[in-house]
Structure 1
Amino acid sequence: MSSQTTRPWLQRSLDAIERAGNKLPDPAVLFALFMLAVWLISWALSGVQFSEIDPRTGKPIVIVNLLDGTAFTTFMSKMVTTFVNFPPLGVVLVAMLGLGVAEHTGFINAGLRSILNVTPKMLLTPVLIAVGILSHVAVDAGYVLVIPLGAVIFYAAGRHPLAGIAAAFAGVSGGFSASLFVPSSLDPMLAGLTQAAARLSAHPGAAEMTINPLNNFFFTTASAGLIILVGWFLTDKVIEPRLKNTQVDGDPASLPKLDALTDAERKGLRYATLSMLVSGLLLIWSASGADSAWRGTDGLLTSATAPLMQSIVGIIFVFFLIPGVVYGYTSGSAKNHRAIVQGMSKAMSGMGYYVVMAFFCAQFIYAFGQSNLGALLAIKGALALKELALPLGVTLVGIVFLTATVNLLVGSASAKWALIGAIMVPMLMELGVSPDLTQAAYRVGDSSTNIITPLMPYFPLIVVFCQKYVKSTGIGTLIALMLPFSVCFLVLWSAFLLLYWALGIPLGIGAHYTFPAL
């Protein structure tokens, strides 16, 4: 089939998906409806006896009736804390305070214009995706930092801003299990769950088995190259051509322009960049000592409990607030402290719609977790895959697709793996497959469908970023934008895993393909 025939068919399909998706209710209402559905389903299934064992308790899984008096009153009493403690909410709002100042004073705009003057336009896409992958070391910071900057960079370069959002979103979220030479906080978290699952095996020696936190590091690093190349091709050859007729109708005054820097802007940029550099050096100096307060109890800077990792959002706030203020005063764009506060206020006013969506999203996720419906789905899927007794290569792909499917409803990577891994890891160990390889298969599926599920906590935020440029953006628009990435990542990354396994390339540090290790 010729490319001339394929592309129109693909574009017609994506347009149909977009139209259907945009007919869905507003995201806030959609989450509210999902929550009501969870309540009703939990009521209907609460009396059903399931034989599946919940690996978290060792007992048969039970669906909790959320309409029961105790469960409902608990839900109501925790409504405020559920919203306030919703992880993405604090991350987004605190980071946006610093970014708001840097954007309001013109620091971000001037910095990007200077970078674009020396960066070839043809390399913008791969560099943006690579930066998105690199952002994984900073936990979820990429969602509030890299993705909106992707739109700014593309628009300032004369390209469609939604294509920039798509490329950045693909790197940050679609390639969540890829890494660029730097481990992420997800590595030790998943390894710990894999170790717990491996010790459930009845195989001699399993009870003392230890999983290295970097057991997939070589594979995830190699995967970054695949994500960058596939994302580059799709952005430039599929996504951007489809967007050529999508009008950018956002507020013209708020959109970046690629004008030459004035003398005042150059002066401001020099001092602001210097202030950011000094701040970075001070952070490095304060973290370099063996007894640094930034280190965790294990002495590492990169462990999940290390103050440095837990302060990433605060660091982003400071690292953009300081140069934003310096730029404002030295360039003349900010005359006094009121302009700085105005920048923060403007950033918060733009987050009003996201806060509303976050409220209903938080309530839905809490209700879904309490009901155990997601756990039941994951366990039934894993058991069904086990009972099929497929060839090993097919089973690995089955884990990938099972995870990708469950990921549409259960966003937490650790929660999914705690359920699926407890079944799949011991099962494959009995077939001679190492937990390291099983975990690698899980990570491929866990990333691939992040970018097409409205139930992913940051999905509403990406919709808000898109609406800044194209006001009519809805859930369907974003799903249609990201679906080619999701499908290609799922298929090609699965094939890449099988090829990697067939060639026997090391998965990571202290990792093996077989069990017991040969």
Structure 2
Amino acid sequence: MENIQASPGSGNDGVAKSGWINRALNFIEVVGNRLPDPAVLFLLLMVVIWVLSWLLSGVSFDTLHPATGEAIQVNNLLSGSEMARFLSGMVTTFTGFAPLGVVLVAMLGVGVAEHSGFINAVLKKLLAVTPQMLLTPMLILVAIVSHTAVDAGYVLVIPLGGVIFYAAGRHPLAGIAAAFAGVSGGFSANFVPSAIDPLLQGFTQSAAQIVDPAVQLNPLNNWFFTSASCLVITLLGWWLTDKVIEPRLKNVAIDGDKEDMPAIHELGGRERKALYLSVAVMVAGIVGLVAWMLPETSALRDAEGQLASFTAPAMKSIVPLIFLMFIIPGVVFGYAAGTFNKSKDVIDAMSKTMGSMAYYIVMAFFCALFISEFARSGLGTLLSVEGGNLLAAMDLPGPVTLMGIILLVGFVNLFVGSASAKWALLAPIFVPMLMQIGFSPDLTQAAYRVGDSSTNIITPLMPYFPLVVVYCQRYVKGTGIGTLVSMMLPYSLVFLLCWSVFLVIYWSLGIPLGLQASYTYP
């Protein structure tokens, strides 16, 4: 790692600060990489959870669950019945691990598109029309917009970030970091409405109705704020990638296997024609899909005629649609360009892709078991509710309270990854509490979204974190948890601080948060 240092008394504060930052990040990387392999780490953490659940199961807590009103009880996972449940459910816990199916199905299609040369051809064209200085913000913006397609960013945009930077002669890990920051760190910054909007709004409205049963909230009650946040996250991510992250990676050798490392080659005449044909097929597919969605009676809509709800077949079909939107043009390109000559070539491309996912599958097994056991123990619920009660007892001024909520949510996010699960627990605490001091449910939800996004990228407990480690290892074999955490920590801290300040300024200027949204209650 590059370690810029300044001699005492040199007066070069900028360099000195850079040296201090680099030393701190390098320390985090070294310590983090001394941790066990991620799969072993999840196994050890699960054992810790078992022991803690046994020690605390006999303790009576006065903390009440916000949804049920009953005292929270820690379950002893080492009891005979709980261990029997763990063993009998081990297979279904693994196969039911949501990110596993999402990743594998999407990667089957992406793998065909990659090995046929279709992705390389598209990226070559993309690089030709994108100025070098705008490569970073373009990648971050695409990563942010990918939230609309649920988890597409994790399986598509993040690995492509490495490919794009590598093809442009820049360090691929910087591209992965920029894309990861946009996809996960800027999860709540998007100008395109997505299914997460009505999901969070539903929890917020239910919590608000504890105080006022007549409260009704618009699903896009934070849309204006999240749209404006898109610009903030893009600019912050751009500066961090080019000025902080990439300089640190300057002396990190790229030692991945050349055969497994994606590359972009010059387009020949046949490849150029194949690209135009495959893109035409993809566009035709998108047009056909839109035409299928448009009618109010479309089978892709839910019972109320909505496309963006979680019950709508369109939202449930995002991953299969990603699979089709890559495998079809990938196959067309392969046959047209001559990289595929028979059907077995397509199957071989899928097999190679699944071969590269073997390490992730092993990590996913232990990750799924740990997350399941942590949830069953009740420790996550206890941690979330106790933190919320502590903040309520402080009785801080409005802006300070708002910042405190953001920081608390960011901390809880290190242990409980699901945005909906956390808000289901915290909304009944925060929303009624802040309504009592004049904060609207819309503002409280906006604060939650800032905290929920900012620390996604530094917690190994985030289900897709091991997958990003695998992406990095394609280029730098020695990449570990510490490498990724130290690389993403500047994004997390800067996003958390600047985004929080941006919300307070946004609030003080009275700019609308979203549709039918307010800042005050009543």
TM-score by structure 2 length? 0.97
User: In the alignment, what sits opposite 1:368?
Assistant: 374
What SS is found at the alignment partner of 2:103? helix
User: 1:189 — aligned with what?
Assistant: 199
1:218 maps to a residue whose letter is F
Opposite residue 132 of structure 1, the aligned amino acid is A
Q: Which runs of 5+ in 1 are unaligned?
A: none
Q: Secondary structure at the match of 1:53?
A: coil
Q: Which residue number corresponds to residue 125 of structure 1?
A: 136
1:78 aligns with 2:78: no
Would you say 1:479 and 2:485 are equivalent positions? yes
Deviations 1:352-390 (A, max 9, x none): 000000000000000000111011001110000000000
Distance of 1:410 and 1:279 partners within structure 2: 38
State the Cα distance separating 1:287 from its structure 2 match: 1.1
Quick one: distance in 2 between partners of 1:116 and 1:218? 31
Task: Indicate which of 310, 313, 317 corresponds to 1:307.
Answer: 313
Q: Deviations over 1:456-487 (max 9, x none)?
A: 00000000000001100000000011000000
Deviation of 1:258 after TM superposition, in Å, equals: 4.6
Q: Which residue number corresponds to residue 240 of structure 2?
A: 234
Name structure 2 gaps, 5 residues minimum: 1-11
Which SS does the other structure have where 1:272 is aligned? helix
- 1:17-416 correspondence runs (5 A): 17-180=28-191, 182-201=192-211, 206-416=212-422
Q: Secondary structure at the match of 2:242?
A: helix
Aligned 8 A contact 2:121 2:264 in 1: no
Q: Distance in 1 between matches of 2:54 and 2:300?
A: 47
Contact 1:400-1:444 at 8 Å conserved across structures: yes
Letter of the aligned partner of 1:235 in structure 2? T
Distance 2:262 2:425 in 1: 46
Per-residue CA deviations over 1:76-107 (Å, capped at 9, x if unaligned) read 11110110010000000000000111111111
Mapped partners of 2:447, 2:243: distance in 1: 28
Structure 1 residue aligned with 2:446: 440
The alpha carbon displacement at 1:417 in A equals: 1.1
| TM-superposition CA deviations, 1:305-341 (whole Å, max 9, x none) | 1111110100010010011101110111111101000
Percent identity, aligned pairs only, is: 60
Q: What is the rounded CA distance, in whole Å, between the counterparts of 1:57 and 1:72 in structure 2? A: 26
Aligned equivalents of 1:148, 1:293: Cα separation in 2: 33
- SS of equivalent to 2:32: helix
Match of 2:455 in 1: 449
Distance in 2, matches of 1:240 and 1:446, equals 26
Cα distance in 2, alignment partners of residues 450 and 36 from structure 1:
24
Q: Which string of whole-angstrom CA distances, capped at 9 and with x for unpartnered residues, describes residues 390-436 of structure 1? A: 00110000000000000000001111112221111111111111111
Structure-1 residue corresponding to 2:474 = 468
* 1:41 match: secondary structure: helix
2:190–2:227 CA contact under 8 A, matched in 1: yes
Q: Deviation at 1:64?
A: 0.7
Quick one: which of 8, 11, 26 aligns to 2:22? 11
Report the RMSD for the aligned CA atoms in angstroms: 0.9
* SS at 2:204 equivalent: helix
Deviation string 1:7-45 (CA, Å, 9 cap, x unpaired) is: 111111111110100000000000000100000000100
Provide the rounded CA distance (Å) in 1 between the counterparts of 2:451 and 2:490: 15
Distance 1:15 1:319 in 2: 41
Task: State the 1:2 CA deviation.
Answer: 1.9
For each residue in 1:195-214, what CA deviation from the matched residue of structure 2 results, as whole angstroms up to 9, or x when unmatched? 1111122xxxx012111111
